[in-house]
């Protein structure tokens, strides 16, 4: 059940010029609501005059031991730039958790799982990987970025599985796009999970469809309200037009029109 909560910033780490990692906890030491990988939150951004609507941010990680929610934020507009200025002890109002989640396999036998993230789309892959590891799986991660400086949280990912990388300029890992990485040629995966720029996800979806691999994608359509009123995030599917914020953001590719 979604709640509107005031959370307090415990840390705000600037990862590079464009990204920050914000960690938050409850103000009264109560437990955070249960959250699942793939879900998101809507952040009310105070102090940003032209930011009238909340900003949707993926759940990056939930540190249950510290009762902390992590949000990976890319500063691309006034609202997200303001968020990257948050300081320790600032109070932030959130609506959470929202949306559905990735599917966790019911059996471990024969499961080879690949989690593919690009840009800020790597955010939900970390918590998904942690949850899969907790359930006894050994996921692999394939992370794509423009350059080495844009690859984030590599040490965190390595805690939960083997990490492979691509960069467009070849400064780290294999040069090129994620769909060209050798891990896809050298392994046979049973399921792929992905989030990132739409062209990347479409390419991953078509690869998965070609090789008959189960595939779920987390869409990053523009969202304003988070509960299906504003209709900003409508996506065409095989069942008609749906709101990503309420029916998603996670979809099996069989439901989308990308592979037809």
Question: Which CATH number does the domain housing residue 27 bear?
Answer: 2.40.30.10
Question: What pLDDT shows up at residue 205?
Answer: 97
Residue 118 within any structural domain of the chain = no
Question: What pLDDT shows up at residue 225?
Answer: 66
Q: Which two tokens stand for residue 10?
A: 């415990």
Question: What pLDDT shows up at residue 51?
Answer: 75
Q: 108: how many CB neighbours lie within 10 A of its CB?
A: 10
Binding residues are 55-58, 72-74, 79-80, 225, 230, 233, 245
Mean pLDDT of the chain: 93
Residue 115 has pLDDT above 90, yes or no: yes
pLDDT digits (tens, 9 = 90+) for 167-210: 999 999 999 999 999 999 999 999 999 999 999 999 999 999 99
Question: What pLDDT shows up at residue 224?
Answer: 66
Measured torsion, CA atoms of residues 60, 146, 156, 77, in degrees rounded to the nearest 10: -30
Binding residues for FAD are 55-58, 72-74, 79-80
Residue 184 within any structural domain of the chain = no
Q: How confident is the model at residue 23 (pLDDT cuts 50, 70, 90)?
A: very high
Q: Tell me, letter by letter, the H, E, C secondary structure of 37-77.
A: CCCEEEEECCCCCCCCCCEEEECCEEECCCCEEEEEEECCC
**Distance, C-alpha 100 to centroid of its chain:** 12
CA distance 55 to 222: 10
Q: Give the contacts of 240 (CB within 8 A, at least 6 positions apart).
A: none
pLDDT digits (tens, 9 = 90+) for 220-233: 867 766 666 776 77
Residue 169 within any structural domain of the chain = no
Q: State mean pLDDT over 222-249.
A: 78
Binding residues for [2Fe-2S] cluster are 225, 230, 233, 245
What is the pTM for the complete model shown?
A: 0.95
Question: What pLDDT shows up at residue 258?
Answer: 87
Question: What pLDDT shows up at residue 26?
Answer: 98
Residue 73 within any structural domain of the chain = yes
pLDDT digits (tens, 9 = 90+) for 118-137: 999 999 999 999 999 999 99
Q: State mean pLDDT over 16-33.
A: 96
Question: What pLDDT shows up at residue 226?
Answer: 67
Residue 48 has pLDDT above 70, yes or no: yes
Q: What is the DSSP letter of 121?
A: G
Q: How confident is the model at residue 109 (pLDDT cuts 50, 70, 90)?
A: confident
Question: What pLDDT shows up at residue 228?
Answer: 66
Percent of the chain with pLDDT over 90: 80
Question: What pLDDT shows up at residue 242?
Answer: 84
CA distance 124 to 14: 18
Residue 128 within any structural domain of the chain = no
Residue 80 within any structural domain of the chain = yes
Which residue's entry shows tokens 């993230």?
117
Map residue 242 onto helix, strand or coil.
strand
Domain range for 10 is 3-98
End-to-end CA distance of the chain: 35
Total domains in the chain come to 1
Q: How confident is the model at residue 113 (pLDDT cuts 50, 70, 90)?
A: very high
Q: 156: how many CB neighbours lie within 10 A of its CB?
A: 16
Q: Which backbone phi and psi does 182 adopt, to 5 degrees?
A: -65, -20
């Amino acid at each position: 059940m979604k709640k509107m909560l005031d959370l307090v910033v415990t840390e705000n780490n600037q990862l590079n010029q464009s990204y920050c990692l914000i960690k938050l906890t409850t103000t009264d030491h109560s437990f955070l609501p249960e959250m699942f990988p793939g879900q998101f939150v809507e952040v009310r951004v105070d102090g940003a005059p032209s930011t009238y609507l909340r900003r949707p941010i993926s759940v990056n990680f939930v540190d249950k031991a510290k009762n902390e929610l992590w949000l990976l934020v890319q500063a691309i507009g006034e609202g997200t730039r303001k968020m990257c200025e948050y300081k320790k002890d600032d109070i932030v109002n959130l609506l959470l958790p929202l949306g559905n989640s990735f599917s966790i396999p019911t059996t471990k036998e024969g499961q080879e799982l690949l989690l593919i993230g690009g840009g800020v789309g790597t955010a939900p892959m970390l918590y998904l990987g942690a949850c899969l590891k907790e359930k006894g799986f050994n996921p692999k991660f394939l992370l794509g970025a423009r350059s080495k400086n844009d690859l984030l949280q590599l040490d965190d990912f390595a805690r939960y599985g083997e990490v492979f990388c691509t960069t467009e300029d070849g400064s780290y890992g294999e040069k090129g796009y994620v769909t060209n990485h050798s891990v896809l040629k050298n392994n046979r995966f049973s399921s792929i999970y992905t989030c990132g720029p739409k062209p990347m996800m479409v390419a991953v979806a078509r690869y998965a469809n070609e090789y008959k691999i189960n595939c779920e994608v987390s869409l990053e359509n523009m969202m304003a309200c988070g509960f299906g009123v504003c209709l900003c995030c409508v996506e065409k599917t095989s069942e008609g037009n749906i709101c990503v914020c309420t029916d998603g953001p996670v979809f099996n590719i069989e439901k989308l029109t990308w592979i037809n």
